[in-house]
């Protein structure tokens, strides 16, 4: 029985050629089908009062119990002899397709899928080499950015630096579909004159404003649109508007396009404008109103810093 930091355990298990003593038949299966998940035991769970040994956890379900955490308590007994209690946090390893079903059956709330690959064979140098090659190819102009990094992603899979299951798991299908749908929306706004209409409205609003005020206006407009769209989709929609807006006012468009990019990437007012905001809402215990109370001062700070810097680097 070994206790330590996950990274140190991973190195030790890999370098020493160790395997989990409970693995038995699971060792011969495809490692890509196995995952590690952290869950908390609910008050109605059938696990409460029993131990992993009494439940014959591995023999009945094929799951390995890797760790148990209980508030303000340090265990000295063997892992299989610890009696489960309400609120215990457990770390389980098993077939990725069976884990959700068993957790529901046991009334356990899944917290997060752990990216631990204890004992798995990985090459930490190869992904770095692939990344450096892609960056060098784009830096010298040999290959455009999109094909270079797409090829790098394919190379990661072909060299088994990343399991194909992890690749599919990190593809956010709703976001991809939404972006694909918004590309023609952006084109239709431009071809039907919608961008000109919005730009003219903003131009009339900005006629009495100085240059820095017009730049701040377009950045604030991008921040206001982002909660209703994805940040990348906001750039698709707002970029043509910003270009027309700058042209109508007689300014060079570069600073205004960068203002759109900054405004679209700095949505701190809602949990839905950016996927990072959404991801931390549940684990952090945040409410919808917490975002604008903390995000409004931060958004104002972004505008106050970004506008003069844009005017300095990309003068009108």
- Annotated domain spans of the chain: 6-114, 125-170, 173-313
Domain 6-114 class, CATH top level: alpha beta
Q: What is residue 301's predicted lDDT score, i.e. its pLDDT?
A: 94
**pTM to 2 decimals?**
0.46
Q: What is residue 24's predicted lDDT score, i.e. its pLDDT?
A: 47
Q: What is residue 305's predicted lDDT score, i.e. its pLDDT?
A: 93
Exposure b/e, 38-72, CB count within 10 A at least 16 = b: bbbbbeebebbeebbeebebbeebbbbbbbbeeee
Tens digit of each residue's pLDDT, the chain (316 residues): 677 777 787 778 777 877 766 544 444 445 556 778 888 888 778 888 888 888 888 777 878 888 888 877 888 788 888 888 888 888 888 877 777 778 887 888 877 655 555 545 455 688 889 989 999 998 898 888 888 888 988 888 888 777 776 676 666 676 667 667 766 776 776 677 776 677 677 777 777 778 888 889 889 988 887 776 667 777 877 888 888 888 877 888 888 999 999 988 888 887 766 667 776 776 667 788 888 888 889 999 999 999 999 988 988 7
User: Do residues 108 and 40 lie in contact, with contact meaning Cβ atoms separated by under 8 Å?
Assistant: yes
Q: What is residue 243's predicted lDDT score, i.e. its pLDDT?
A: 84
Count CB atoms within 10 A of the CB of residue 191: 11
């Amino acid at each position: 029985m070994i206790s330590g930091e996950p990274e140190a355990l991973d190195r030790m298990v890999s370098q020493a050629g160790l395997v989990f003593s409970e693995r038995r038949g699971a060792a011969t299966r495809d490692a890509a089908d196995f995952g590690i998940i952290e869950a908390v035991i609910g008050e109605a769970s059938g696990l409460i009062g029993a131990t992993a040994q009494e439940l014959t956890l591995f023999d009945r379900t094929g799951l390995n119990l890797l760790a148990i955490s209980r508030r303000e308590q340090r265990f000295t007994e063997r892992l299989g002899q610890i009696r489960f209690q309400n609120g215990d946090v457990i770390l389980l390893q098993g077939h990725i397709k069976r884990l959700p079903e068993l957790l529901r059956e046991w009334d356990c709330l899944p917290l997060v899928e752990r990216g631990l690959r204890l004992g798995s064979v990985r090459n930490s140098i190869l992904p770095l080499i692939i990344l450096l090659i892609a960056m060098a190819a784009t830096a010298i102009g040999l290959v455009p950015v999109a094909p270079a990094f797409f090829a790098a992603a394919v190379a990661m899979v072909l060299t088994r630096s990343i399991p194909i299951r992890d690749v599919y798991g990190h593809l956010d299908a709703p976001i991809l579909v939404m972006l694909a749908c918004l590309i023609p929306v952006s084109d239709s706004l431009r071809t039907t004159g919608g961008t000109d209409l919005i730009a003219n409205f903003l131009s009339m609003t900005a006629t009495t404003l100085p240059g820095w005020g017009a730049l701040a206006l377009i950045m604030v407009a991008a921040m206001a649109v982002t909660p209703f769209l994805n940040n990348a989709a906001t750039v698709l929609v707002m970029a043509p508007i910003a270009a027309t807006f700058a042209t109508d006012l007689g300014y060079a468009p570069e600073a205004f396009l960068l203002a759109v990019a900054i405004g679209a990437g700095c949505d701190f007012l809602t949990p839905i404008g950016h996927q990072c905001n959404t991801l931390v809402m549940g684990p952090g215990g945040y409410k919808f109103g917490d975002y604008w109370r903390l995000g409004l001062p931060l958004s104002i700070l972004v505008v106050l810093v970004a506008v003069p810097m844009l005017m300095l680097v990309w003068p009108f």
